[in-house]
Structure 1
Amino acid sequence: MTLDYLTYLISVGLQSVQEYLALHVLMCLVPAFFLAGAIASLFSKESVLKFFGADAPKYVSYTVAAVSGCLLAVCSCTVLPLFAGIYKRGAGIGPATTFLFSAPAINILAIVYTAKILGYDLGAARAFAAVTLSVLVGIIMSLAYERKDTERKPIKTFGEAEHKHSVQLFVLLIVVLIAPELMSSWGWKYTFQILAWAPLIGLTAYLSYRWFSKEEINSWMGETWFLIKQITPLLLLGVFFAGIAVVVLPKEYVAAFVGGNSLTSNFISSIAGALMYFSTLTEVPIIKALTLLGMGAGPSLAMLLAGPALSLPNMIVINRIMGVKKGMTYICLVVLIATFSGYVFGSMFA
């Protein structure tokens, strides 16, 4: 009986993976990977990081810190060394912690995938809350710990020249990414979507080879393949276990702890997200599974904000970089802000 049940659970997980591959890979995830790869290889990170130094006005450094995750294409694992670098090289604790909170949450892959799977309202809310509230986190950290006599140095950067066609390519890749969704909303059949989408892919490929050198194209493809290898196995594993979770977890337990939109349910969701380790994008299928079991919209947003920003390994590293006092202050701020954001969002969509 136990073996039969285990076999049944495995089949459920595999069916979830099969459905996911059929629905979301070709027109959603593959273009997103190419977009993220282009950002990682063709956009100059140094041209962004220079705005964190002492020479930059605060309104500039906070703004760049809050939105640079889109251009830097960082995930929860790669944000820590970047944060450590800019913090130790002269960035104020305010802009540095703004970047630390916002960057993983507005990873272009994460935002696109959240919107596609969980809905555009939740995707937009995730991006908006991460950007705006990360500034609040940074300002509070700055007021609490940044003294006027603290020395801040300019951040030295190298290779700041940006390719003149990078922005045009970015726009083209965005169009490639959103076109299938638009055609679907217009009621086009899948075959017609493919026929209309293929020339757009061809145009993008042609212009890419016209605009960029062979070395730049190879770098782009290398970054894209790296992201695919790094993320896809963990993502499919997350989809597999999320499918099993729908069967195994009692709906009444999920509804009791993270259902509805109370402050308690949002707080529990924030704490759970902070303690769990989400590899890039895996939080989305897990939260999708929990919503099927009764998880509320507010707690979903709370977990989407706290999950990528924190994890047990992440918290240990943060405390080592900033010190325990500053690190714990940042961790508590993230949990409380995620809780509050979830509660407000849930109240709006109740």
Structure 2
Amino acid sequence: MPRKSTALAALAWALLLFGLFAIVYPKATGQPLTPVYDYGNLSSYNPILIPFVYVAGYLTRAWGAFLFAFMLGGFIEAFVPREKMKDYLSSKSVKSYVLAALFAPVLTVCSCAMIPIFGGIIAIGAGIGPALSFLLMAPAANFLAILFTSELISPLIAGARFGFAFLGAILIGYAVAKTPWGKAVEEKFGKISAAKAAVIVKMDFREKSMNSLKEAYALVRMVLPYLLIGVAAVSFIDAYMPRDIIGTYFTGALGVVLGAAIGVPLYTPTLVEVFFVKALIGAGMSASAALAFLLGAPMSSIPSMIGVSRLIGWKTVGTYAVLAVLWAAAAGFLYMIFIGGL
């Protein structure tokens, strides 16, 4: 039994580190760790095959991020002291929202890969408000996304993206925490956290490492099937949306509104949205509409919302998604008014 438990503990750490390596390696070398399935033109496939092809292509690109994210979520639940989490990420403290928004950019993962990490944080006692600030900030303004935005689009848009994402994540998290359904979610997870706390405290390092596997698997079972369903649903939008026509409408006030809202159905993995927006700018998209898209898309995509709803319910998800789209539109209008086409 001790030998088996040691092996399982070692496996947990190996999976976590391998997931991290799978994320870092392509960024450091410019080459994927494993072959990536390039499906080419989605619209050329039989409609029945499109969701399967799209999901296959998505998983060959994102499996490392998912492995790391789910394992990290499990490790957070197993190792992070619940009382410390309540102290540092309480919905009652403004400082907690700032800390959550400042720490989130370290994680260069998309909105979908953030879900298990978010689940791990909220399950150990973090307030719903700071947890949502963390969930929204990481995909919208992680360091690599900001760097790519600066290099490929504009340093000015990159700075605006970070600033508006930072302030928006804090304000949206704070607003949701004040709703009755947000408070109900926090109370629900607070009870779960309290029930687990006594058991976790008695565990040694090896037992906590083993428990992280159990917690990671629970997150996989709860979130991943619904997440993949969301990705499959988006495949038809990606296949048939006329990008050349969209580019011509993304100017002026209408362009800002479309830029903020189009990210909901049009899911783009992290960093991919930068290349997509660059192409749209080349087709005539305004800078203000581009900023609105770069904020709204990572915060409120359909696959992400479906996955998060399994954890905190649709009322809470719907609230933060609407607020995220409105905030993205407001950011675009402010950029258009004060900076214009620069």
Q: TM bucket by the smaller chain?
A: 0.5 to 0.7
What residue is the counterpart of 2:315 in the other structure? 325
How far is the alpha carbon of 1:341 from its aligned partner?
0.8
- Aligned-residue offset at 1:254: 2.7
Structure 1 contact 126–304 (Cα < 8 Å) conserved = yes
* Superposed counterparts of 1:251-290, under 5 Å: 254-255=247-248, 257-260=249-252, 262=253, 264-290=254-280
Match of 1:275, SS state, is coil
Partner of 2:121: 86
Give the whole-Å Cα distance in 2 for the aligned partners of 1:325 and 1:125.
29
CA shift at 1:99, angstroms?
Answer: 0.9
Structure 2 residue aligned with 1:109, among 141, 144, 159?
A: 144
Q: Which amino acid aligns with 1:77?
A: C
For the structure 1 residues 32 and 348, does the alpha-carbon distance in structure 2 shift closer, same or farther, using more than 3 Å as the test? farther
**TM-score, normalised via structure 2 length:** 0.58
The C-alpha deviation readout for 1:198-257, integer Å capped at 9, x for no partner, is: xxxxxxxxxxxxxxxxxxxxxxxxxxxxxxxxxxxxxxxxxxx9xxx99x725xx633x2
Q: 1:285 to 1:78 in 2, by over 3 A?
A: same
CA distance in 1, matches of 2:315, 2:285: 33
Looking at structure 2, the residues matched to 48 and 95 of structure 1 have their Cα atoms a distance apart, in angstroms, of 16
Q: Report the 3-state secondary structure (helix = DSSP H, G, I; strand = E; otherwise coil) of the residue aligned with 1:74.
A: coil
Larger Rg: 1
Residues 106 and 138 of structure 2 are in contact (CA less than 8 Å); yes or no, is this contact kept in structure 1?
no
Is the 8 Å Cα contact of residues 51 and 64 (structure 1) preserved in structure 2?
no
Taking a change above 3 Å as real, the CA distance of residues 72 and 280 of structure 1, as seen in their structure-2 partners, is closer
Q: Deviations over 1:307-343 (max 9, x none)?
A: 1222221121122221111111111111111111111
Q: Which stretches in structure 1 are left out of the alignment for 5+ residues?
A: 1-28, 159-240
Deviations 1:87-134 (A, max 9, x none): 233211111111111111122221111110001001111111111110
Please tell me the residue identity of whatever aligns with 1:318.
V
**Identical residues among aligned pairs (%):** 31
Query: Deviation above 6 Å: which 4+ runs of structure 1?
Result: 47-52, 154-158
Distance 1:119 1:135, change over 3 A: same
Deviations 1:285-324 (A, max 9, x none): 1111111111111110111011122222112112222111
In the alignment, does 2:102 pair up with 1:67?
Answer: yes
Q: TM-score, normalised by structure 1?
A: 0.56
Equivalent residues, number: 230
Aligned partner (choices 51, 74, 85) of residue 53 of structure 1: 85
| TM-fit CA distance, 1:48 | 9.2
What is the distance in 2 between the residues matched to 1:131 and 1:63? 8
Q: What CA distance in whole angstroms lies between the structure 1 residues aligned with 2:309 and 2:280?
A: 31
Q: How does 1:1-350 map to 2 (within 5 A)?
A: 30=28, 53-56=85-88, 58-145=93-180, 146-147=182-183, 150=187, 152=190, 249-250=244-245, 254-255=247-248, 257-260=249-252, 262=253, 264-350=254-340
Contact 1:102 1:130 in 2 (8 A): yes
| Stretches of structure 2 lacking an aligned partner (at least 5 in a row) | 1-26, 32-64, 202-237
Residues 52, 298 of structure 1: CA spacing in aligned structure 2 closer, same or farther, 3 A cutoff?
A: farther
CA distance in 2, matches of 1:342, 1:293: 18
Counterpart Cα distance in 2 of 1:66 and 1:317: 21
The 1-side partners of 2:167 and 2:30 are apart by 24
Q: 1:226 is matched with which residue?
A: none
Distance change in 2, residues 1:72/1:49 (3 Å): farther
> What root-mean-square deviation, in Å, do the aligned CA atoms of Structure 1 and Structure 2 show?
3.9
Q: Does the Cα contact within 8 Å between 1:258 and 1:269 map onto a contact in 2?
A: yes
Q: In structure 2, do the counterparts of structure 1 residues 92 and 259 end up closer, same or farther at CA, with 3 Å as the change threshold?
A: same
- Deviation of residue 79 (structure 1)? 0.4
Whether contact under 8 Å (2:105, 2:143) holds in the other structure is: yes
Q: Which moved more, 1:53-62 or 1:137-146?
A: 53-62
Cα deviations across residues 182-209 of structure 1 (Å, max 9, x unaligned)?
xxxxxxxxxxxxxxxxxxxxxxxxxxxx
